[in-house]
Structure 1
Amino acid sequence: MKKLLPLLAFLIFASSATMAQVKPPNGMKELGAYSLFYENYKNEAYERAAEFGRWIWKGMPEKIEGYSRFELKKNLKRLAKVYSGIAEKKQDPSVKEAYMDTALTIYNKMFEKYPDAKDDHYNWYISRGRLYQKHASVIENASVKAAENYEKAFEMKPEEFTNYGNGYYIRVMLQEMIGQDKKDQALAVMKKAEPYASEKIKSAFNDMRNQLFDSPKERITFLEGQLKDNPENIEVLKALQDLYSEQEMVDKARKTSQKLYELNPNYENTLALAEFAMSNAKNKMAIKYLKEAMGKAKKDKQKAEISLDISGAYLNMEKLRDARKYARSASKYDNDWGKPYIQIADVYAQAVGKCTSGREMDSKDKAVYWIVLDYLNKAKRVDPNTASEVQRKAKSYEPVTPTNAEKHFWKPPLKNGEEFKIDSSLRKCYGWINETTKVR
């Protein structure tokens, strides 16, 4: 990274005396500071979260008195996300760089603190690689560093990493190797990964092998020349579509995908346009093509996956009722799949965040988390493969459900096991949920 401006370094990292500070701010108790950190983190108020959480990565406490569920590893990763999130919103490149430097420092501390946590290392390498990619404009050699992190993740779990993100990350890693002219290294990775790769990823590997002998620019020029002779050559269009995407020629990739769709608006080409829209956060366009692909899908599993993608697009747009509707639809197409129930849990959790925007959460808001936990439990019950994800999410929500004291002072007092309605009787903003849970 470039050197920080002296004044900026002073403002963000303060003096060496401040760097030594490992206690919460303003004389607060650790539990109180942590609670404020977590609430602000959850609401994406990242600057406030940093204010109340900075002491955690400075002091690295393994425990917090009065809260047995505290996990340092989890909160260090949250803090890295906090500083990255602050960086995203800053306009000044030097300020962005400063906050990213802190996020990366936290990752370094995580690796140093837990040298034997190999499963965590795998996820941390991927997360750190994403940070380098996302903030490439202010990080020197960001693409190289991202690829180095992805390569470490691949070495740890080659099968899992090969298909992670539908092969996106291994393609990023290989593209960087090819760009650095590391021919033997790229070929070795593809050879190791190929037994685990899907047909789509294998096809990408074949294209990359071609790139090792011809530069992408030369290959694109050649294929574009072929296309002039036959503008409707499907195979050439598909090869160009992949090359444009790999080279981040976004406009040409979109036009080529559109051309393939116009030539043959089949399920595959319609879904390709939907996936392109999703990858570029164009939620309305994604929904349009996903709904069209739904009408062309022949298998219930395909319809379930498309329904969940539609739900996710609506969730990104904060259209929570529509997000729930399509998550429910996904569960009907595949009732042994736990992901739709996790999605509904996420929808209701986002409802709390939306309803409490600009104010503090109280016991009425916390009660909604009971039904969030209901759906998480249902996901695990119907689909054991979701157990680890459910457990991770449940650990976040269980501590913020109403306390015994809050249940006692409810009017009338709430008793464990009795039915409880989540609707407008809590607040108007929860009226659309209209579901029944149980006090716990």
Structure 2
Amino acid sequence: MKKVMISLLAGASVLALVACAPKRYERQSKPKTATSSAVKKEKKDTGQKHYQEVLERYAKYDTALKNGDKAGLFAELGKSPAGSEENIYLDALERLGTPVTFQYAFTDLNQDGVDELLVSNQYTGNKQYVSAIYYLKGQKAELLHTAYTAAVGGYRSSLDVFDNGQIVYATWQSVNPEMELTLYSLGKGEAKEEKKATIQIGGDQTAEQALGMSAKKLDLTKLDWKNFDGTGDSKSTAKAEEKKSGSFQVQVSVADLRIRKEPSTSASSAGMIAKGTHTITETVEADGHTWGKLESGQGWIALDFTTRVDGNADPAPAKTSTEMNLDEIKAGNFSSVAGVWKNKYGTSIEFDAQGIVKVNGSAVNGVQFSGFYFKEGNLHGVSRMPGATNETPILFIPSREGGSESIYWSKSDATNGNDLYYRVD
């Protein structure tokens, strides 16, 4: 009996060991799980650090422009290549006295894992506009283009970004009804020019239609905009442009100036405005144009393609200390600019009391001038050479702050100084 009991106890012990073994093995073999505090999520490098030099430059531009520090601004611009598009843009802001509140945002436009840098300073009608786009070429920030209004010559440009990463760059002249479009796509370290097109400003065809695009414009208000002083949040701080009131009259001389229901090139059309004199009750800057609200209630027109009636025109400066008399020139008397004027390339134009009489030393007769109006202390107009079908903008700029008086005469952008003529005789 004793032997039987010993055998039963031994068997029970073996069964107990067998029964416990799987549980013990399961506990020992269960992998250790790291706690959440021990897990470190690695942040993806999207290349933002390579834009630091650009951000530092704009921070200095922002400070100088806000403080009216012209010397400081040009000292900073002097560190970059002369005539660069960035320099021209900042120079135009300073000359025009444009209010500055620079902001920037990073976004991966082409979804390649590398961010692009957008800079903004244009706030109009609760919309935020892109003023400059930078992308990375390797580890170096490259400027695609800037969008701005030139200080002289009527040159303008704009940048539109679309939700598929494409970019439309547009350029135009305030005296020319055509807008030149270029479609870009961003690749790995490159900006590829996809297509070009030309549309009529105020016409029925949109940029997207002309370029064969189906994408929609990127909602810029959803980007994480920041100020260059380190402030800013995840929402755009775009502000509506203050509208200026006060009635005046303008003369419409073109037959294809479109009326818009709102002050925007993308607003619905309300037909064409008739030639003649029209009363404007308020103005607003939007989409690169100065828009005027019609007293008739029909809508808005782009005032760039009109002439302000003399009786309500801005007062023109009297005869300047350098003898350029804008009142006389507007009346057809060019005596105050008689003589030879040259640009930086040595191209010359010569005036007598009647107007231009020589170009590069060769006599010309019958150069016609028209469309004169005053703006920002300068005299704007157009000229037409004998037998020519196209008009060429001309701008008379009196001396300011000890500088030299000059004449702009070209169809291209004059802000880099190439088409500014200075008196030599």
Which bin holds the TM-score, normalised by the shorter protein? under 0.3
- Give TM-score, length-normalised by structure 2: 0.26
Higher relative contact order (CA 8 A, sep 6+): 2
- Give TM-score, length-normalised by structure 1: 0.25
Instruction: Answer with 1 or 2: which has the greater Rg.
Output: 2
